[in-house]
Amino acid sequence: AVDMSGGTVTVLEKVPVSKGQLKQYFYETKCNPMGYTKEGCRGIDKRHWNSQCRTTQSYVRALTMDSKKRIG
């Protein structure tokens, strides 16, 4: 992963808390390579809506460690 300064960091799988550890979870979703599906987007009534799937990039907060073993 890359931090906001452009430095390479490792995303920690487990986050230390007072009562042990918690796991961090991240989810990735992708559009159909053709940009649409035969049935249309899920949850959309195709009689009333014309929808598209577009790939975008987003940023999320995560607990990470840099090459100097600093956690943040």
Give the pLDDT of residue 48. Answer: 59
Going from the C-alpha of 24 to that of each of 14, 34, 41, 64, 72, the distances in angstroms are 6, 32, 29, 10, 14
Does residue 13 register a pLDDT over 70? Answer: yes
Condensed to tens digits (0 to 9), the pLDDT of residues 26-65 reads 877 776 666 555 555 555 555 656 566 677 777 888 899 9
The pTM is what? 0.53
Dihedral in degrees, nearest 10, Cα atoms 36, 40, 41, 46: 140
* Residues 6+ away with beta carbon under 8 Å from 44: 51
The whole-number average pLDDT for the span 10-36 is: 81
Amino acid at 14: K
pLDDT computed for residue 32 by the predictor: 64
